[in-house]
Amino acid sequence: MSRTDAPRAATVRVPAKVNLALRVGPPDPDSGYHPLATVFHAVDLCDEVTVRRARSTSLQVTGPFREGVPADPTNLAWRAAELLRENYARTCGVRRPSPVAITLEKNIPVAGGMAGGSADAAGVLLAANELWGEELTPLDLQDVAAELGADVPFGLMGGNALGLGRGDELSTVLSQGELHWVFCVATAGLRTPDVYRELDRQLGWDGPPTPETSAARTAAPEPPQELLQALRTGDPHEIARHLENDLQAPALALQPGLQATLDAGREVGAVTGLVSGSGPTVALLCESREHAIDVSVGMAALRPEIQVFTATGPAPGARVVDTRH
């Protein structure tokens, strides 16, 4: 597409994620980052991100989960637009493109462990690149996404993926069929740094390494091979046997009430349940779309104080759904 044909506005749909497995290693003594081995799974619960040409950068937040989302430069979506403008000037040999006005329709829970903020940042990257003439390739966008945060590249990719390093070294995971979920949204969010700090406290990683522990502190977690094999079967019961989340215990310690949600999920017949990412959203795996509806009705009756919704995965990554010239 030539720059003269680029649209004035573009809307992108971008999915939430659940970590089917999340293995966390000890923090790096220099950077403080934890090495990960995780399996990302995108679901068809999506935010919509609209970007249009403007005289100055701005951000508007709408949708059912808009409360508490900053509409200022601290928002990762705003930072994504500015970083991409700088990248255009640096790598494309052109002036910084025009600013953009961003509108987020928030359908993904906030601070819920489903990477809603990262999804919005991925959506802005794709939409703004569309506005500015698609000068950057998908691989270029992945590189910019990795600068913004570990979950942002997967927002562009979608599907199922193995994430290593900080979670941003992605490779496609083959799977069969669909997985059907019920998501239970807690009334209060959890900050990801708080959950990692609690993990460090629980495992004794919050102090300086000793000669006895230094070797273990440098070990990276292994990919969950049993889960990767189970995904090829498409059998939710086989997959359920291998779901795991190292952040579940610290999330439960910070919000003990999440255990009641997990227990209720088993009571109403879910195949299994786990905390999604750093929480506090609880993901209940079901046998089918119809079973997910039954489980959601049961959860709404047992836990009327929480929000419950169904979703299916794997879903595609960020994609342009509308442009206006």
115 annotated binding-site participant: yes
Is pTM beyond 0.75 here? yes
Residue range 224-244: average pLDDT?
Answer: 98
Q: Domain range holding 294?
A: 1-325
119 annotated binding-site participant: yes
pLDDT in tens, 4-45: 578 999 999 999 999 999 999 999 888 888 999 999 999 999
pLDDT at 215: 61
Report whether 149 contacts 278 (CB < 8 A): no
Domain harbouring 276, CATH code: 3.30.70.890
Active site residues: 17, 151
pLDDT in tens, 40-91: 999 999 999 999 999 999 999 999 999 989 999 999 999 999 999 999 878 7
For residues 185-203, one letter each, b for 16 or more C-beta atoms within 10 angstroms of the residue's C-beta and e for the rest, the string is bbeebbebeebbbbbbeee
Report whether 228 contacts 164 (CB < 8 A): no
124 annotated binding-site participant: no
pLDDT at 253: 98
Domain count, the chain: 1
Q: How confident is the model at residue 126 (pLDDT cuts 50, 70, 90)?
A: very high
**pLDDT beyond 50 at 203:** yes
110 annotated binding-site participant: yes
118 annotated binding-site participant: yes
**Cα 53 from chain centroid (whole Å):** 27
